[in-house]
Amino acid sequence: MSDAFLQLQNVKTHFPVERGIIFRRHIGEVKAVDGVSLSLLQGEILGLVGESGCGKSTLGRTILQLVPPTEGAVILAGKNLAQLKGRALRESRADFQMIFQDPYASLNPRMTVFDTLVEAIRAHKTVPSSELANRVSELMKKVGLSPRFLQKYPHEFSGGQRQRIAIARALAVEPKLIIADEPVSALDVSIQAQIINLLAQLSREMKLTLVFISHDLSVVKHISDRIAVMYVGKIVELGPATDVFEKPLHPYTKALVSAVPIPDPEREKKRLRVILSGDPPSPMNPPGGCAFHPRCACAVAECSRTVPGLDNFNAARQVACIRAKEIN
């Protein structure tokens, strides 16, 4: 795709595993992200789902260069972020921001909301002091908070309010890309909807590209244009949100979708569940061939030998399964 706004090319993030205190021996690698290629349009919302430990958070942090990729390119608006270093990287951070999972840990407890937001505004631009108060109030209103709370400290807010402050901080630098790493999993269900809607609305209004990371398919379904499903460091399925949810292609996605409860007792009783046996494999030592084959109901002998690529299933959808055409 030539008009891609964010493009990942075969991104790999491996963490070395070492043993020994002073003389370290290299004993292996955790392949947290192992060859992810993706492209997003400007203003698109991508939902990234997968089990805990599948590498989705690491992928988010790798895109933002909080963790340097081992291999591959992260191209944002024509600029390869993976090659930026030091000052250049710090300055380009105005273009991409992150919203964290735990709103209780992501705000400095010793700083007022005003100080937190001012710090973010001033991180990349010089704004005259006379204008600061206006800018900060505007940000607060944008995320649905009253500016009269500006002099308060994070511990005086509820979880949902804190997450709004964290969103305001991310917006303060006027980014083009936001990665939201499980932004609602620490919140009450009633608050989750508010935060998801706020993010969707902001993304629409500001033409923000949003990568929404979650382990909960039903949360992602509402907000995303497309969904990417990750398993042990790789994307196994990618496609429009409704398609992936209504008619999943990959056996793993089928299991995920079948695990989402239906809020209707009649239909819930009839819901077919695909129960996966076993735990996800260790990313340090993933099984050969398709990483999912030991847990897969459709696996054949070939699956343990061939590593499936993320191939086109049709124009809009991609799936990494050698039997995709047969089983669907």
Q: Which residues bind other proteins (CB under 8 A)?
A: 21-22, 24, 64, 66, 89-94, 97-98, 100-102, 105-113, 119-120, 123-124, 143-153, 155-156, 160-161, 164, 166, 169, 173, 193-194, 197-198, 201, 222
Distance of closest approach, residue 80 Cβ to other proteins, in angstroms: 17
Q: Which of 231, 249, 254 is nearest to 35 (CA)?
A: 231
| CB 143, min distance to other proteins, A | 7
CA 81 to chain centre: 17
Q: In this complex, which beta carbon is closest to other proteins, that of residue 143 or of residue 213?
A: 143
**Beta strand 311-312 with 6-19: parallel, antiparallel or unpaired?**
unpaired
Alpha-carbon distances, residue 121 vs 127, 165, 194, 195, 290 (angstroms): 8, 13, 25, 22, 46
How far apart, in Å, are the Cα atoms of 171 and each of 34, 66, 174, 237, 315? 30, 18, 5, 30, 34
Is the separation of the CB atoms in 190 and 196 below 8 Å?
A: no
Q: What is the Cα–Cα distance from 149 to 224, expressed in whole angstroms?
A: 31
Closer Cβ to other proteins, 28 or 144, answer by number: 144
Nearer to other proteins, 169 or 215 (CB): 169
Is 213 in a helix, a strand, or coil?
strand
Which residue, 1 or 22, is less far from other proteins as judged by CB? 22
How far apart are the C-alpha atoms of 1 and 315, rounded to whole Å? 13
Q: Which is nearer to other proteins, 101 or 203 (CB)?
A: 101
Neighbouring-strand partners of residue 237: 229, 319
Question: Which tokens go with 39?
Answer: 């492209």
CB of 16 to other proteins, least distance (A): 12
- Residue 64: CB minimum distance to other proteins, A: 6
Strand (E) or helix (H) holding 180: strand 177-181
Which CB atom, from 199 or from 291, has the smaller least distance to other proteins?
A: 199
Nearest distance from residue 322's CB to other proteins, in Å? 38
Q: How far is the CB of 15 from other proteins (least distance, A)?
A: 14
Give the residue with the Cβ less far from other proteins, 119 or 131. 119
Q: How many residues does the chain have?
A: 328
Closer residue to other proteins (CB): 178 or 249: 178
What's the closest the beta carbon of residue 70 comes to other proteins, in angstroms? 18
Cβ 306 to other proteins, closest distance in Å? 38
Q: Which is nearer to other proteins, 19 or 305 (CB)?
A: 19
> Which ranges constitute the DSSP H helices of the chain?
56-63, 86-92, 113-122, 129-142, 159-172, 189-206, 217-223, 241-246, 251-258, 265-270, 324-327
Q: How far apart are CA 76 and CA 82, in angstroms?
A: 10
Strand partners, 212: 47, 180
Closest distance to other proteins from the beta carbon of 129 (Å)? 17
